[in-house]
Structure formats: C-alpha cells, structure tokens
Structure 1
Amino acid sequence: MAEEKEEVKTFEELGICEPLAEACDRLGWKNPTKIQVEAIPHALEGKDLIGLAQTGSGKTGTFALPILQALIEASQKHVQAFFACVLSPTRELAIQIGEQFEALGSSIGVKCGVLVGGVDMVQQTIILGKRPHIIVATPGRLVDHLTNTKGFSLRTLKYLVLDEADRLLNEDFEKSLDDILNVIPRDRKTYLFSATMTKKVQKLQRACLRNPVKIEAASKYSTVDTLKQQYRFVPAKHKECYLVYILTEMSGSTSMVFTRTCDATSFLALLLRNLGFRAIPINGHMNQSKRLGALNKFKAGECNILICTDVASRGLDIPSVDMVINYDIPTNSKDYIHRVGRTARAGRSGVAISLPNQYEIEWYLQIEKLIGKKLPEFPAQEEEVLLLLEQVSEAKRIAATKLKESGGSKKRRHGEDEEDDIQKYLGGKDKKSKKSKRRD
C-alpha cells in the first residue's frame, strides 16, 4: 500500500474533480502532501476523519477539497446553504481558512462566511443573510449568532470540522463547543484535525465521530526534517542582547519572535525599532483590525520581524518565514511544536532558535524530552554578543520611556493605546478605532 501511495502525483489521482484540481494548480499546490494523500480518499468515501499531522503539512486542503467536492455534487440537486462549518481557535486562522475555501471554490461560486470576535455582529448578520455555503468561525462568536441572529441555524449542516482540535478543547472553548454540538445535526460528517493528540481530543473523538479513520502523518509530537533547531542558554539580563545579535546575524531573514506576554511584544517591537529593525507586534489584546493590519504588513514584507504571543502560533500560513525565535520558552512544551511550525512549511527549510534563561531551563528540557532529541547549541561568542550591550541598553531605556509616557501598560484598555504608540513611533497612522467587545 505504501508504494501505491508514493506513486500518487496529482490531485486527480486522489479522486478530486477537475475544477478543484485546477484550483489547486492555480494556488501552486502541484502535488498532494502526505496527509492529503492518506486522508482525502477516505473523506471522499464519506468517512469521518481524525487527522494528526505536523503544522504546515496541508491540513486545510485536506478537509476543504472533499467538502467542496461534496458541495458540487449536492448543488446539482439544489442550493446548499450552511453546508459545512469549520471551527477554529483563533480569529486569524479562521480568516485564513475562509480565504482558502474561497480561493479553492472561486470557479464554482462558493460563498464563505467568517464569524469571529472583534468584528461588528450586524455586518456578520448581513453575511449570514446571503446564506453562505461554508461557515468558518471561532466557537464563541458562532454561539452568539446561533443565540441572537434571527433565522440563522445550522440544521442543514452536512460537515463539521474542528481544526486545531487540541486547542478547541481548552476550558476557554469547552462550553461553546458543547452548545454547538447540541444544536447541529447528528447525521453529518465530522473531521477532527490536530498537530497533537491529547486525552481531551480522544474524548471528543468518542463523543462526536462515528467509526473514524485515523490518519497519522506524523509521529506523536514531531517537527519536520527540514527544520534546523538550536538553543542558546542565556542569562536573563542579557537576553535582549542575544536576540539583537541573532537578528543581526540573520539580517534579511523573515522572523517570528515569540514572547510570553502581550506587553513584551510591544516593548520588544519598540526596542528593535530603536535599533533600526523593521519589527511589528501582534497579540491578543489588540483589536481585530490592528491584529490583521500587523499580520498583513508582515506578509507583505513591510516588516520582516513579527513579535508575537501564542495567538500567532497556530495554523497561520505565512510561507516566507525563515526563522522562529523562542525569546520566552513556552510553559507548555506542546506549544513549541506549534511555534516552530511557522517555519519550514510544505517542504521548505527553516531555523528555530530557543533562548532559555536560568529560570526557564526546566521548560526547555521538557521540550527536548517531548521531541525526543537533544538540540545543538547556537554558536555565539559571548564577548561578541556583549559588544551590543551599550546600544541595546539605550534602546531599552527609550522603549520603556515611550511606553511610560503614554500612560503605562496597566492603565491601557485592551492594549490598543499601546499599539497606537508604536504606530505613532513608526510614523504610522494615528487613527483611533472603535473599541469593540472581544469574544473569540
């Protein structure tokens, strides 16, 4: 069987119809990925799926193509509104999935509605009134509409997809997910996708899938072979120096720098800007328009360093990321898999460098235990790194002063004013957006 699978060269050979295969070609998807080769034939046969695959392995295409093919077949009989629903843990990932559905279904007139927090409910109600075929949503906002939007229900639903299922089963989403599962048809196809398999995912599998086919296109917790992973143990007081040194050494690279807190993203972005780097922050405290604005600037190449919290670690497809830096080591070692999965996607190479300090070494050792390998050390002469100390210290002082002048992060609401300070400092627009209630 394995030899037969390796012979598959095209989406048509998996059973994908011509219009969708042509759409794949237009998107630059020349050959199916491993998870697509193994899962799509089962999906086309009408089976429920559990897909475990490394992030960046083509999961969105794996569930989108069979759904769109089923939609084409169903639409020959009658129009199918609210045919499928995809649940995502983050707004950005939901928006990206919606874009992929529309790109794949552009030639067949697919309509997709995205329901996420931070966006006006009335605008979304208008979208729902147009009766889209596909709904992509964060759980909380979908429950808002199921509860409050007159005439909207998912009684006609034929497909449910839970993307990044391990994250959807966190306490934040548990009640919303239960509410959704209680009001959608039991007679449906269900796809559950995750880069990691947890006990909660196994529990959900038993609750809402019927005789699913389990496709494991990766070992339990693994990173791709094209990813070069390194670490450097650094004293906490010199961590910024090491960050600046690495970014200088890798100048010209597109990088994502992960921090633990929202305040740290804004502070580091200002610090790096003071030193001439094109850095921009993104975090969960920014409103939706600013989060998308930062992401779009990064994707467009206006800024080549994205300073982010774990809001950006899941599923975002930014093809040109060359390097991931774990400035703060994640307390949950599984988050490491998702973070470093932002680079070395779809067969490309990439670099991931972790910077544990004396307080984080235990968390770092948990990561090595999880991935089953001891990582090599990032080579750097400490004397050379500390040559940067004076200018980094001055950049830190200026960044701290700028944030303090604008009122201090504790007095801000949702971190939006802090982001305005950065936009002012970068010479960006200083337009206050309306502050909307946030609910993912």
Structure 2
Amino acid sequence: MVYNNLFQALEKIDQAATEEASNTKYGFNIFSILRRDDEEVGLHSKFLAELLSPTGSHGMDAFQKLFIDQVVNVAFKNKDEKRLPLCLNQPYTCQTEVAITNSGRIDIILKNNENIIVVENKINAYDQRAQLQRYYEACRNMNYEPENIYILYLNKYGDPVSTYSKGNLKDSDFAQISYKEDVANWLDACIIEAKPYPHIEHTLLQYRRLVGKLTGDTRSAKMKQAHIELLYQKDNFKLAHELSESLVSFQIDLQKKLWQELQEVLKKKGYDFNFCDENLQLCDRNKKIKNYYKPQKPSRKYGIQCKIGSLEEYDINCFIQVYKNVYFGMISSREGRPIGYPSSLNNLATQIGSLNIPIVGNTKEWALGGDLKPTQPIQFDKIKSLYKIANNNDRAQWIEQTTDEIVSFIESVKSLGLIDVQSATNTSHNTV
C-alpha cells in the first residue's frame, strides 16, 4: 500500500506536468520547426558555435567563459599534469565546419594565440578512421603545443570514442563530454546569465528543451523540484531507494523476456532463431544477460540468429544482435563460425546494401551490405530507452513491429535470388 501511495503521487505530478506543458504550448520549438532535431551540422554545431563566439549575435562573452569553466576545464581536470585550467579572461575566436588539409572538417574550433579547443560533435554520425588523431595532428601543424590542445568528443550520452576513431591518441590527449550532462548543465547556466535579456533567454530555453528531447530528459525544472519535495515526505525517500536497488534485477528480467518473446514471434512467422554469442555458438542466455550489467562489462555482443540460406560454401545468416543498440543484418559463416565475408560475396553485399531499406552502416568485417536498427531503437544500457518495452502491451507492440521489419528484410534478401534458400535449416536448439 505504501508503494502504491508513492506511485499515485508521482502519477499526479506527471499528469500536472503534462497538462502544463500542453497549456503553455511548450511543444512550440523554432529549432524543431526549421531543422531535424538531430541535425548535427546545420542545427547543433551551428547554434553551439554561435553561443560560443564572443562576437555572436547575442553580444555576450559569458557563454564562452561558462563553457571554458564548466565544460572544458572540468573535462580535462586530472587528465594531464602539464595542463593548467584555462584562463576565463582570454577570449577565443570561434568557427564551425573548419576545413583542415588532409584531415576533413572540424565541427567547432575555439582558438587564441596560446590554446586551441576542438569539438567533434557526434549525434548520429559514425566514427571516422583516426579522426581525433588527424585533428590533433592538424593542431600540431598549426604550431600548438600538446599541452595547449584540447580535443572534446561530444555525443548524446558521453559514450566512449572508439579505438578506430581516436587512432594513436592517448586517453589524456582528449576528453569525452555529453549533451545529456555537460551541454545541458552549461545551457542551464547560460539561461540564468541571459535572464536580463528575455529574447536570448527564451531562445536558450527552447534549445535546452530540444537537448532534453534529444537525450530523453524531458522533465522540466518544476517537475524535478516536485519530485524532490515528494521524496522529503514521510518514508518516500526510503521507499524510492529500496525500489532503485531492484532496478538492475528488473532490467535483467526485462531483457530475458524481450529475447524470448522475439524468438517466439519470429518462429510463428516462419523463422526459428537460436540464442547465441557473437561467434554464433549456443550459449547460456541467463549468464550472458546477467553479465551485460556487470561493471567490468565482459563481452556484450550476443543475440539470436537464423540460417537463411547459402551461397557457394558459405552460410548466410540473419543475426539480431545487441551491443549498445539492438540491430540486425546478414552475416556469412563457414562451419558454424562467422567470417569476414570474402570477395566472392561482394555482389550479394552490394545488392543487400542497395535495397530500399534504412541500412545504417557498412562493415565489411561483419554485416553483408550493412546493418539496420529497428524503427524504434532499443538500448539496454539506457534506462529511458526501456520505457517503450517495460509495459507488457507496449512490448508486444514493439516486438510485432520489429519482427515485421526483420521478416521484411529477410524476404527482401531472399528475393534477390542470389542465395540458395533451400539449404536453410530451421532446426530449433535449446539454450540454457
């Protein structure tokens, strides 16, 4: 009963926040109207650079100083003893989309005679080969000393940069920041600074709401304060803490349900998928999923696979896999082991990549022609991503839609007429 009272109070706060948002037209957002919410260059890099420029149309240098103080200095604190905190009274010029000879384009550069700050802005784009290394070398070619080069890798949640992208840079050569924490907190400070100028304040508020929408944090400051006040009442803080200790157990159980239900629905649609590790070997489902949430993070690559057919001496399999996101694609294997597909499968890979479907990547070492994410992406390590599947009815709808997309993809590949589908075997195997 006490837990029910807490949930009912939270529901009232949520309803009040929803009604207020509707009544005050918070849905109106000039950024969303003019651009896609996730447009890196034309929206986010351009607007961030405008805020960071001391000669920007806002006419304020405070935004840059706050960024140096609250983002750059904090991100590089304790990274390298040779680096001293940047002085807030040394202004930086700011440019966006800066072309660097043989190094591509840098999203945002702040620089003065002594220091240079590079911001690599990643929202949906893939990492590029040795991208941060190339930017670092470009800064060195501009005669900046290593201790005066500050490279920031910005993405939605602060996900780590890949080895592929950082190249030979040491971890102390760059820092990772996020929209969810670093940019959001900086914007909150900028909004306070802009209060004497309502036109600037309201523009920042709209962009701050867009960042919240982008990262899944749509709670208003008023709603957060209501939550805080609720936790002060009676034993609510104790109850909330007790519930929080069961969150990981719930996530483990939820992920188990999702994989099992995916397999069941796919089997009804004619495809018998088996739970396996990244090497397509049957494995202990319970152990794999439990390990996913351990702090040391052992291999987080596993999923379900089904043989679709063969081409020459290779099996062609559909593999639905999890790493950070759930994604799916076609992979080749021989004698039950996945392989980097040989040149003899290039035509199949090209044809799959040319299908009229939203292929999101092209990894020669893995997916034939690229891989796909569900229309409603899922990230098991992001709590808010799980909202859409926590409820039984919502999860059933997600599974129905996603399995339709997977089956449609499989049928599209089969329709190319390049693989021998008669060789496919849908023999079921038991996993522990």
Instruction: Point out which structure has higher relative CO (alpha carbons under 8 A, 6+ apart).
Output: 1
**TM-score, shorter chain, exceeding 0.5:** no
Rg larger for: 2
TM-score, length of structure 1 as denominator length: 0.30
TM-score, length of structure 2 as denominator length: 0.31
